[in-house]
Amino acid sequence: MGRTPQKGEDVVYELPITLEEAAFGGEKRISYQKNGKDEEISVKIPRGISTGKKLRLAGKGREGRNGGPRGDLYLQISIRDHPVFSREGDDLVVEKWINFSEAVLGTSIEVPTLEGKKRVKVQPGTQSQTKLRLKGLGMPHFHGEGRGDEYVKVIVRVPQRVTEKGRELIQELAKEGI
């Protein structure tokens, strides 16, 4: 009686990538163990991929038994923390600190985006924790058209120490109800 062909075992490979690699996609070379040997391949990272997604590479797993097909290689994606952006779905959030006087009077601030820097207007009277929306400047939609948004979270900096003159000015503002 002949032996039944059996599919080889699947291999799972943890693949940490940067936020930029997730945003723009591209190729990445990886090296993994297969059947006791190192194997190096180039993999395509699709635009907009997120943590937790798996990419399947058919036939790149372990050898089958008795003439069976090879198993598959699964790339388990994790996106490393970014020093500037946090990701919420396809949206990006960046925090930007402004002074109390800028929040009261309004200002223009420079904020980072995936493509570089952009100037954003902060309206007079902006409250701390306000989110300003930059439409279409977030992550590309995975397997789709368009992009998420970028949100600039404005945080008002309250001074911990002020000069005597600054204290007097703030006391005058307090008398005005500000």
Q: What is the pLDDT of residue 18?
A: 96
Q: What is the pLDDT of residue 2?
A: 62
Same fold, 11-79 and 86-161: yes
Please list, residue by residue across 109-147, b when 16 or more beta carbons sit within 10 angstroms of its beta carbon and e when fewer do. bebebbeeeeebebeeebeeebebebeebbbbeeeeeeb
* Cα–Cα distance measured from residue 22 to residue 45, given in angstroms and rounded to the nearest whole number: 7
Q: What is the pLDDT of residues 137-154, one digit of tens each?
A: 999 999 889 999 999 999
Q: What is the pLDDT of residues 26-73, one digit of tens each?
A: 999 998 877 778 889 999 999 999 999 999 999 998 888 998 999 999
- In this prediction, residues 129-136 reach a mean pLDDT of 97
Task: Classify 55 as helix, strand or coil.
Answer: strand
- 86 pLDDT band, cuts 50/70/90, is very high
Q: What is the pLDDT of residue 177?
A: 83
**Residue ranges covered by each domain of the chain:** 11-79, 86-161
Look up the CATH architecture of domain 86-161.
Answer: Sandwich (2.60)
- In this prediction, residues 114-141 reach a mean pLDDT of 96
Q: What is the pLDDT of residue 12?
A: 93
Residue 1 has pLDDT above 60, yes or no: no
pTM of this prediction exceeds 0.85: no
- 25 pLDDT band, cuts 50/70/90, is very high
Tokens found for residue 22: 């997730």
Residue 20 has pLDDT above 90, yes or no: yes
The whole-chain average pLDDT of the chain stands at 93
Q: What is the pLDDT of residue 82?
A: 97
Q: Checking DSSP bridges between strand 150-157 and strand 130-134, what pairing results, if any?
A: antiparallel
Q: Provide the CATH topology of domain 11-79.
A: HSP40/DNAj peptide-binding domain (2.60.260)
Give the percent of the chain with pLDDT over 70.
Answer: 99
